[in-house]
Amino acid sequence: MTAVLARMFGFDRIEIAEDIVQDTLLKALNEWRSQIPENPSAWLYRVAKNQALDLLRREKLFGEIKEELTYLSEQQEHVLGKLFLDDEIEDSQLRMLFACCHPAIALESQITLSLKTLGGLSAAEIARAFLTTEDTINKRLYRAKEKIRSEQIVLEVPQSKELVVRLEAVLKIVYLIFNEGYSSSYPDQVIRHDLCEDAIRICLLLTRNTLTNLPKTNALLALMCFQAARFPARLDDKGAIVLLKDQDRSLWDAFMTSRAYEFFRKSSAGNEISEYHIEAAIASYHASAKSFEKTNWEVILRLYNLLADIKPTPFVFLNRAIVKGYVYGAKVALEDLVKLESLHQNYVYQTAKGDLYAELKENTLARQCYEKALNLVTSEPEKRLLEKKMRQLKGL
């Protein structure tokens, strides 16, 4: 809805679009308490459309809208209705995504703005993705919106080479939206299927455009399909987390896996090897392994070494250290982990250290790490998993 309304009002008035969406959702919150409508999406679009029309009439903004949307007053409702058709919604979202990635806006602000407006992520969720603070994220959002307003950046899909230049940031945004869905920071949700589905859908749209249907686009789509295929096995029937080594692989979605391999084959065209190619390759080795024990950890480690060269981030080093543990043992993995002090306040890091100490029978140190992780984590299922690990240390 934000993308559609921003397309109508103009990118420099994105806050008007956001206000209308917020008001629409508040109305839904109040009116759906007794009964959810038969078609919730249509209800939301209708209310948003009516609010937009009221605002236009009240503030007499018709003359300021882009020429192609300036119609006679009796056609205005028809125009708004048309904008909320499925293909127009998709087009508006892609326009918004590429507009957010305008080169006049700093890269980190491009990504932050897109995650907020298109991904619907909160400042806290975006801060988690960037390993920074909410205050920093809010400042980036403010600067990006000021840049849009002052330079009158328009909501349009760039042409030819400029579109390809912006694609790198667009793919990064899609990747981060999927990651937040894959490992949600919501207290009661491990997986946010809505975010994952939206990321896959947007990436699929990119593969349908000849300019953006590049090998790295297909590689990212393959990666997300490989990961999504494991969703049915990641939680048990009580909502508890099931670790990869304990998952019932017969529950993995065979259709999603086959689609992943299809996109992975398409990604092999050309000579470029992106971070998405390597991550998709890692995911493919997990998908092809008959069991956790039969996973080819040596090849996966070599892939992580390649990934660390082109994407030297703390989490890549963290995952590489964990894989080293499967190849060379827990002691070697710990030597790598202790060097990652920038992740000291991250619960995933503390949990990984705890697991390695537990494997080495250093139960006191393992418990200390698990306790630190418990103090840092917000997810209830993650807390229950950590508590289970602590009970196992006591032999319970």
Transcribe 121-154 into DSSP letters. Answer: --HHHHHHHHTS-HHHHHHHHHHHHHHHHHHT--
250, 261 contact by CB (below 8 A): no
232, 198 contact by CB (below 8 A): no
B/e letters for 156-168, b = 16+ CB within 10 Å, e = fewer, are ebbeeeebeebbe
**With the CA atoms of 1, 65, 148 and 204 taken in that order, what torsion angle do they form, in degrees rounded to the nearest 10?**
40
Out of 36-45, 64-73, 82-91, 101-110, the most confident range is 36-45
Range from 10-24, 152-166, 306-320 carrying the lowest mean pLDDT: 152-166
348 has a pLDDT exceeding 90: yes
Range from 27-41, 108-122, 226-240 carrying the lowest mean pLDDT: 108-122
Give the pLDDT mean for 81-95: 65
Q: Where in the chain is the domain with CATH 1.25.40.10?
A: 307-396
Range from 81-85, 213-217, 219-223, 380-384 carrying the lowest mean pLDDT: 81-85
The residue among 120, 109, 126, 234 whose CA lies nearest residue 176 is 126
Burial of 67 (0-12, 13-18, 19+ CB in 10 A): exposed
236 has a pLDDT exceeding 60: yes
Measured between its terminal Cα atoms, the distance across the chain in Å is: 50
Give the position of tokens 């909320």.
84
Handedness of CA 53, 54, 55, 59 (dihedral sign): positive
Would you state the pLDDT for residue 73?
A: 39
Range from 23-37, 251-265, 324-338 carrying the lowest mean pLDDT: 23-37
pLDDT, tens digit, 9 for 90 and up, residues 8-40: 777 777 888 889 999 999 999 999 998 899 988
The residue among 6, 8, 35 whose CA lies nearest residue 18 is 6
Q: How far apart are CA 45 and CA 81, in angstroms?
A: 8
Q: How much of the chain, in percent, has pLDDT values that exceed 70?
A: 90
88 has a pLDDT exceeding 70: no
Handedness of CA 88, 219, 231, 178 (dihedral sign): negative
How confident is the prediction for the chain on average, in pLDDT?
Answer: 87
User: What is the CATH topology of the domain spanning 307-396?
Assistant: 1.25.40
231 has a pLDDT exceeding 90: yes
Q: How far apart are CA 341 and CA 54, in angstroms?
A: 54
Q: Which residues contact 182 (CB under 8 A, 6 or more apart)?
A: 191, 196, 227
Burial of 304 (0-12, 13-18, 19+ CB in 10 A): buried
pLDDT band at 68 (very low <50, low <70, confident <90, very high): very low
